[in-house]
Amino acid sequence: MARKYFGTDGIRGRVGDEPMNAPFILKLGWAVGKVLASERRRPVIIGKDTRISGYLFESALEAGLSSAGVDCLLLGPMPTPAVAYLTRTFRASAGIVISASHNPYYDNGLKFFSEEGTKLPDAIESAIEDMLECPLETADSAELGKADRIEDAAGRYIEFCKSTIPLGTRFSSLRVVVDSAHGATYHIAKRVFRELGAEVFAIGDEPDGLNINQAYGSTHPANLQQRVRELKADVGIALDGDGDRVLMVDAEGELVDGDELLLIIASARQAAGSLHGGVVGTVMSNLGLEHALRDAGIPFKRSAVGDRYVLEMLSEDGWVLGGESSGHIICLDKTTTGDGIVSALQVLAHMVAQRETLKTLKQGMTRYPQSLINVPVSKPVVLQDVPEICEAVSRAEHELANSGRVLLRPSGTEPVVRVMVEGRDENDVRRIANRVAEVVGAAVDG
């Protein structure tokens, strides 16, 4: 069912424009309280990243929840996966994260977790949207909600992160550069790795409300790569603004993406007998990951793009490991959502246990060259109904044979069709992608 405000990962927009303005967020807080919590009188947990607008939206949410007669527990700056974890441990009725993830400071958004620390079901999101159409009615003065702050939230989450690797594991042999993107992990990530014995050099850990994801973090790894080389570190860890994604850098400063990290974690789970099924990637996961898993005898499935869909497929099959090339990795045997710190810990623990470098571990996968072209379109199009496009895709797939693939995907957020071609030879991939993109552009808007 189409929804007006909720996307695949909550609600997001530019600060000041609906839905990301104070009046709407106040009403949304009230609607969430009425749907999720008012009858059971259990609190809602609220965390945020380091954007300056977080103060505004935290206050608006608090006012909306209070008007619905719901208490709230404030965490302050806290990674998205920490909010999911604390929602469970406090037995709250829901968790809300004020964050736009890897977007710039002038965007913001809201992510929601159920009492189990999982994404809200579609039916609940629809019920919240329905409630937004009702007039806001303030609870009786004696029934208004109260707010309290969880002072030890960071410490609780740090201890949880450390508990996800085997007891006794120490990183005392490792020099680690940690990049927190001036975001929600700025005060947490470096402590986790230091408390486990690593020599830690922190960058991207000085948020000012405006610099989140700016030149640092998983979307901008160049500074991290340079620091790893300068410091002769063993590994670099790049988190995004809300801490649910991670990319890594090996000792030579080479980037290790989500597909490669997913393979390393899957291999470690397989060796330990704890993989419990296969691995879920997305339609954008590199073909090299699929082939490497196949060679290891590990089943692999692809979901639509988005961690929501990865989670759905994992749940359907009873599997525990999945993720995206962007570094959004889900270890359901450890936690309920993507967690950048927890994912990095799994990789470091495997490095230490095997006494191997990150560079050696990532060699289990040979990346296939990819070419991604965004083709602007002026109107929505059903690609499979356009004969010229079907013919171009068929020709490309025949040319790539069994050594590549073609993916056409209308964007859910922009007026473009994404043309992705993947294969063994970079020149062939680029040539075929350009040819298919030209056909798509001419057929749609020609």
Dihedral (C-alpha) 124, 129, 131, 137: value to the nearest 10 degrees? 120
* DSSP per-residue letters across 125-142: HHHHHHHHTSPP-PPPGG
Q: What is the C-alpha separation between 308 and 335, in angstroms, rounded?
A: 15
How many residues belong to the chain? 446
Given the residues 53, 101, 303, 343, select the one marked as catalytic: 101
Q: Do 85 and 48 touch, CB atoms closer than 8 A?
A: no
* DSSP per-residue letters across 223-248: HHHHHHHHHT-SEEEEE-TTSS-EEE
Q: Do 190 and 205 touch, CB atoms closer than 8 A?
A: yes
Q: What is the C-alpha separation between 386 and 391, in angstroms, rounded?
A: 9
Query: Catalytic site residue 343?
Result: no
Q: What is the C-alpha separation between 207 and 322, in angstroms, rounded?
A: 30
Characterize the bridge pairing of strands 279-282 and 300-303.
parallel
List of residues 6+ apart from 273 with CB closer than 8 A: none
Scan for tokens 């290891």, then name that residue. Answer: 296
For the chain, give me the number of helices (H) and strands (E)? 14, 18
Q: What is the C-alpha separation between 265 and 28, in angstroms, rounded?
A: 38
Instruction: Provide the annotated active-site residues.
Output: 101
